[in-house]
Structure 1
């Protein structure tokens, strides 16, 4: 069964993801270090992980696989989830996959080097608005629809094995 995993600590689209997951009948797991209120819908659960760097990322990467969808803005986590066979979306609805994750990681590393070399170089992107939320909702709907068609076990043609 398809599961939707949300890297929830800084996710601006938790409510939108929950609406789509509930409408489609897909279980959703909010993964964080704490500080979120308990979900009220039975399809949505809160997975609290130990405090510490990347604990939520480790849990998601170890839990996801083919047929699952992960929502994250963390590129190293996205890379691990893609390698595990999951579909990955950013909060703005961008699909991350084998074809684009390498260049995205390289750009991330380059920008980190630039910021380190020049502390006056300030990054920062545009604000997160209605268009971003709409794009996310459309992308999530498409991703979950496609993920539900992914074979889950060895008995199905094209399956990649049990998780």
Structure 2
């Protein structure tokens, strides 16, 4: 089995630069998927694919693009749940790995939050992204790529 490709749900990913830097150290290809609303003029590195602005366009592209053994970075629990079925490792930008054993409860919490929002109840939202989150992500991403290196 060859090296995995790292695919990034790029529209709201706060660790794009860290991904390019670390993946480069391991010689791993990085593919960013973003909507046309988020076209970047400055080259961050990696390969960029731009998709329609529609709500699920990036998710559909990623689902069709990835293969077993790849790594996806996303904050989208729904996307993560479908990718786990394809034997894809899915990492949250805060450094948490989505796992099959936890995904049903995460989807249920997402459903309850959406239901509350439809009734006009809005929570605080996620806590602000911190330096500790970046460190946790970098450490886990390195660990994940190191583990894949051993599989080659």
The number of aligned residues is: 148
The structural deviation recorded for 1:50 is 2.5
SS in 1 for 2:126: coil
The structural deviation recorded for 1:31 is 0.4
Which residue does the alignment assign to 1:126?
Answer: 127
User: Quick check: 1:36 aligned with 2:63?
Assistant: no
SS in 1 for 2:8: strand
Map Cα deviations across residues 62-93 of structure 1 (whole Å, 9 max, x no partner): 11122210000011111111111110010101
CA distance in 2, matches of 1:121, 1:24: 42
The structural deviation recorded for 1:125 is 2.2
Higher share in helix: 2
SS in 1 for 2:75: coil
Which residue does the alignment assign to 1:80?
Answer: 82
Which residue does the alignment assign to 1:22?
Answer: 24
Q: Aligned match of 2:102 in 100, 103, 107?
A: 100
SS in 1 for 2:87: coil
Structure 1 runs (4+) deviating above 6 angstroms are none
Which residue does the alignment assign to 1:145?
Answer: 146
Unaligned ranges ≥5, structure 1: 152-163
The structural deviation recorded for 1:148 is 4.4
Unaligned ranges ≥5, structure 2: none
Structure number with larger C-alpha Rg: 1
